[in-house]
A = this chain, B = another copy of it.
């Protein structure tokens, strides 16, 4: 945990004052830049010291064997690990032969600023070299949202006291030394020297390195070019080797004068294109970037972000730390996906190598709902990636003796890479998560082309999976046995409510969409009988309920199990429990890693009564330890729905601060993109009460104590809907769009009709809590929003 308030509370930026080398790796994650295609960690320009060097290209990975002490049928034999590719952000500096290294000499000033509106990372350092020479270094870094292949850096050196001989070395480096990582199984495996040099070259200020991975046979090209501005003559020297290229600029700089280097780095990779094609692609990207120039790159970066914020920003009056955090969260969510273009959105985005760089269900279940409402093109792209892996998912289903498609629990390219099946293969809900996300995207956007060309096949093949997994019991209900729901402290259970309800939605949506596109459905061999079977199963889904305790069961029998000894855990063990207790203990007791039934009650809320939700919330709160970063946001949403507004605010704060305060103590390996996205969900679905059940947009806004206003905007069918809430009233506004038709939304269940440009106001209706504020397991109370705001003051 970053204990000290390192970041002043400012609405549109995250500013670090001073430099704490002890938390360097964390800050590298926080200051990572990405466009969804390229990702660069916030490593210092000069490379040393570093926490975790990181430059990533989406889906550029190496294959590695997955070992088993006792293997089993269908266990994946190979995994995929994201690679730290050729580092293009490296700019070393020598001042009068002293290397600029913050561990030597004196750091007089150090500031880094992540500008959330401009999409730039600024750094400013005033450093006194070991020999006493003061020097000012300023750098600005961007990963272009408009020129997808481009990373650009402006680097400026200015001696303060005396004339200095300055050497700036701008580099490309492949196969960097990587630190040993922790014993935590979730931390990515390390792959040493993964890049095999195949070509290198350069001329003037330009250099190119081409490499190939050994097993996955992917090729990567990294090129750099430079513009140098100096007050007078300077020397320039280029050296290119197979694994590195270095442009050295040698200049005698007077105090007050500046040496300015602008570095353009272009990346390209492919599994199929030829080496010359890749070389040319990177060459062209570099020329285009130089032609665009630094200033235009900066301007178009701002324009791209302005467009995003206009339909995505959330404003909060009364909680400045949360205000900052939600913008930080939205910025990273957008960055992770913006230009991914039919590649996965990994759990850590491209901010670190945690989880091996894999994408999980959290992409569809936490990130896509936000993107669907704020940057729909990015949501569509992510779903098109899933669609592109359909054939692999069909093969996996076949391996598992199932019909349809079984998407991987964790993957980069599409193959299943999960090495522990009870929390991998068995977590079949990912298939419904994907299907429902595709259906939701269509409901929000009305994108019929996507529905026909992508959603239909995703829905049909996953519906077939459920049909083959489930069965009708003697009770006439449709049951799904032996699966793992979102809560990974229960595994291989029967009738997990979340899985069953999501599968039901999957089946119903498949039937609906297949009927809408009969010709295309027929191409997929869908028959009328099949559609009927889907509908019947969707209508008969089992939802276990404990009559004695009057509460839903997370899965069949859950509430009858022994309750975990939370006191012992607080006293003797540490969290997360999975690192300190055997699955054998965790699985057979009532202890919940992360919201599971609550997630069902959020996304399938229309399957429960208000009282059922309140009772379930009260029952499951004391059992939920939040050892997953995917829990707090859902608990915030449901706390708000059942009227526990202060608790909701605390959970919101925890989700929002997950990385800024390193609450899970693993931000060093990358940001928790789904938790960041969850911050938006906590605000919009939580305090905004936004739901989309049955494709109907609805709201039930309420503010937590201390807030005077919450404003947010969502994109719905090509138009922006603005919602502004204060203590007493809600104002709904239909902002723009080509479509002039009326929009009907629901406010607390009552229709509100809006025409473009109009707004309507309704009274806030507070939900009366049915129970006292529920308690949490000892020592696992949420971070208090009040505390966080106090710390941040």
A residues adjacent to B (C-beta < 8 A): 66-76, 79, 185, 399-402, 418-426, 471, 473-474, 479, 481-483, 491-492, 494, 548, 556-557, 560-562, 578-585, 587-589
Chain B residues positioned under 8 Å from A588 (CB to CB)? 481-483, 492, 494
Q: Which residue of chain B lies nearest to A491 when distances are taken between CB atoms in the complex? A: B492
For the complex with contacts A69-B420, A471-B562, A481-B588, 9 further pairs of A-B residues with Cβ separation under 8 Å are: A68-B68, A68-B419, A69-B76, A74-B584, A421-B582, A422-B422, A425-B584, A479-B560, A481-B589
Top 10 A-B residue pairs of the complex, sorted by shortest distance between their CB atoms: A69-B419, A482-B588, A67-B67, A66-B69, A70-B420, A74-B582, A481-B588, A471-B562, A70-B419, A71-B185
Number of copies of this kind of chain in the complex: 2
B420 touches A582 (CB 8 A): no
Q: Which residue of chain B lies nearest to A185 when distances are taken between CB atoms in the complex? A: B71
Complex CA distance for A68 and B580, rounded to whole angstroms: 17
Of the candidates B70, B482, B581, the one whose C-beta lies within 8 Å of that of A584 is B482
User: Smallest Cβ distance from A13 to chain B, in angstroms?
Assistant: 38
Q: Given A68-B68, A491-B492, A556-B557, does the pair A401, B585 have CB atoms closer than 8 Å?
A: yes
- Pull 15 A–B residue pairs with CB atoms less than 8 Å apart, ordered by A: A66-B69, A68-B69, A71-B185, A72-B582, A72-B583, A73-B580, A73-B583, A400-B584, A421-B582, A421-B583, A425-B582, A426-B584, A481-B561, A482-B587, A482-B589
Chain B residues positioned under 8 Å from A474 (CB to CB)? 548, 560
Chain B residues positioned under 8 Å from A584 (CB to CB)? 74, 400, 421, 425-426, 482, 492
Chain B residues positioned under 8 Å from A557 (CB to CB)? 494, 556-557
User: Smallest Cβ distance from A490 to chain B, in angstroms?
Assistant: 10
User: Smallest Cβ distance from A553 to chain B, in angstroms?
Assistant: 12
Chain B residues positioned under 8 Å from A581 (CB to CB)? 73-74, 401
Q: Which residue of chain B lies nearest to A426 when distances are taken between CB atoms in the complex? A: B584
Complex CA distance for A76 and B425, rounded to whole angstroms: 23
B68 touches A582 (CB 8 A): no
By secondary structure, the A interface counts as loop
Most buried by B among A69, A479, A578: A69
Most buried by B among A399, A402, A581: A581
Chain B residues positioned under 8 Å from A580 (CB to CB)? 73
Q: Which residue of chain B lies nearest to A556 when distances are taken between CB atoms in the complex? A: B557
Q: Which residue of chain B lies nearest to A72 when distances are taken between CB atoms in the complex? A: B583
User: Smallest Cβ distance from A571 to chain B, in angstroms?
Assistant: 12
Chain B residues positioned under 8 Å from A419 (CB to CB)? 68-70
Complex CA distance for A38 and B587, rounded to whole angstroms: 42
Complex CA distance for A73 and B186, rounded to whole angstroms: 12
Complex CA distance for A400 and B589, rounded to whole angstroms: 14
Complex CA distance for A402 and B402, rounded to whole angstroms: 38
Of the candidates B400, B418, B578, the one whose C-beta lies within 8 Å of that of A585 is B400
Q: Which residue of chain B lies nearest to A74 when distances are taken between CB atoms in the complex? A: B582
Complex CA distance for A588 and B479, rounded to whole angstroms: 11
Chain B residues positioned under 8 Å from A66 (CB to CB)? 69
User: Smallest Cβ distance from A444 to chain B, in angstroms?
Assistant: 33
Chain B residues positioned under 8 Å from A579 (CB to CB)? 73
Complex CA distance for A557 and B71, rounded to whole angstroms: 28
B481 touches A582 (CB 8 A): no
Q: Which residue of chain B lies nearest to A588 when distances are taken between CB atoms in the complex? A: B482
Q: Which residue of chain B lies nearest to A79 when distances are taken between CB atoms in the complex? A: B69
Chain B residues positioned under 8 Å from A482 (CB to CB)? 584, 587-589
User: Smallest Cβ distance from A119 to chain B, in angstroms?
Assistant: 36
User: Smallest Cβ distance from A540 to chain B, in angstroms?
Assistant: 14
Q: Which residue of chain B lies nearest to A406 when distances are taken between CB atoms in the complex? A: B584
Q: Which residue of chain B lies nearest to A546 when distances are taken between CB atoms in the complex? A: B474
Chain B residues positioned under 8 Å from A562 (CB to CB)? 471, 479, 481
Of the candidates B70, B556, B578, B587, the one whose C-beta lies within 8 Å of that of A492 is B587
Of the candidates B471, B494, B560, the one whose C-beta lies within 8 Å of that of A473 is B560
B70 touches A185 (CB 8 A): yes
Of the candidates B74, B185, B481, the one whose C-beta lies within 8 Å of that of A72 is B185
Complex CA distance for A560 and B75, rounded to whole angstroms: 27
User: Smallest Cβ distance from A66 to chain B, in angstroms?
Assistant: 4
Most buried by B among A418, A426, A562: A562
Complex CA distance for A409 and B560, rounded to whole angstroms: 28
User: Smallest Cβ distance from A186 to chain B, in angstroms?
Assistant: 8
Most buried by B among A79, A401, A561: A401
User: Smallest Cβ distance from A318 to chain B, in angstroms?
Assistant: 42
Complex CA distance for A580 and B557, rounded to whole angstroms: 30
Complex CA distance for A471 and B557, rounded to whole angstroms: 15
Complex CA distance for A185 and B70, rounded to whole angstroms: 6
Complex CA distance for A578 and B401, rounded to whole angstroms: 13
A72 touches B401 (CB 8 A): no
User: Smallest Cβ distance from A462 to chain B, in angstroms?
Assistant: 16
Chain B residues positioned under 8 Å from A420 (CB to CB)? 68-70, 72
Chain B residues positioned under 8 Å from A73 (CB to CB)? 578-583
Complex CA distance for A678 and B568, rounded to whole angstroms: 44
Most buried by B among A74, A75, A482: A482
Complex CA distance for A75 and B68, rounded to whole angstroms: 12
Chain B residues positioned under 8 Å from A483 (CB to CB)? 588
Chain B residues positioned under 8 Å from A70 (CB to CB)? 185, 418-420, 423-424
Chain B residues positioned under 8 Å from A418 (CB to CB)? 69-70
Q: Which residue of chain B lies nearest to A560 when distances are taken between CB atoms in the complex? A: B473
Chain B residues positioned under 8 Å from A587 (CB to CB)? 482, 492
B492 touches A492 (CB 8 A): yes
